[in-house]
Amino acid sequence: MPVKLAFASADSWETVRIAAAQAGNGATTDFADRGSSHKINGTIVSVTAMIGATPTCTYAIEVSADGTTWGAATYADVSTPTTDVATTFVITTNVVARKIVKHPAVWRYVRVTMSANTNVTNTIDVEFNDGKRFV
């Protein structure tokens, strides 16, 4: 699984694509490395789901300090940035779901694992910014 590096600055966003038109179950094709120098500021995972007949897909955002051992990320939907969860979420329509990945523990790498995928094709991006802090 290739690692995609993100070199964000305080002035601009860096976007890393970790899955392009990926169907089926399992972890994203790639995972993002936010680097050891990144602060605890802005990290967003964007899932663009394109659906077929009777669609459903379950997503788990996962983080790792070493790129080997993965655990559930704490995140919030961009529409409710102060409501933190560490659970899976389900998509059943054409949508772009944007999640703010929080930093209650030290992590460097992020990926998304898909399960129970029926007729959903996913493109997943990770956006980093050292200058903007989310609630």
Q: Which domain holds residue 7?
A: 3-128
> Among 123, 129, 103, which residue's Cα sits nearest to residue 30?
123
Determine, yes or no, domain membership for 104. Answer: yes
Determine, yes or no, domain membership for 133. Answer: no
Determine, yes or no, domain membership for 117. Answer: yes
Q: What is the pLDDT along the chain (135 residues), one digit of tens a residue?
A: 555 555 545 556 788 899 999 999 999 989 998 876 555 566 899 999 999 899 999 999 999 999 999 999 999 999 999 999 999 999 999 999 999 998 877 888 999 999 999 999 999 999 887 655 554
> Among 19, 81, 27, which residue's Cα sits nearest to residue 49?
19
Q: What is the CATH number of the domain that holds 48?
A: 2.60.120
Give the model's pLDDT for residue 135: 47
Structure-token pair, residue 14: 């860096």
d(CA 91, CA 55): 8
The domain tally of the chain equals: 1
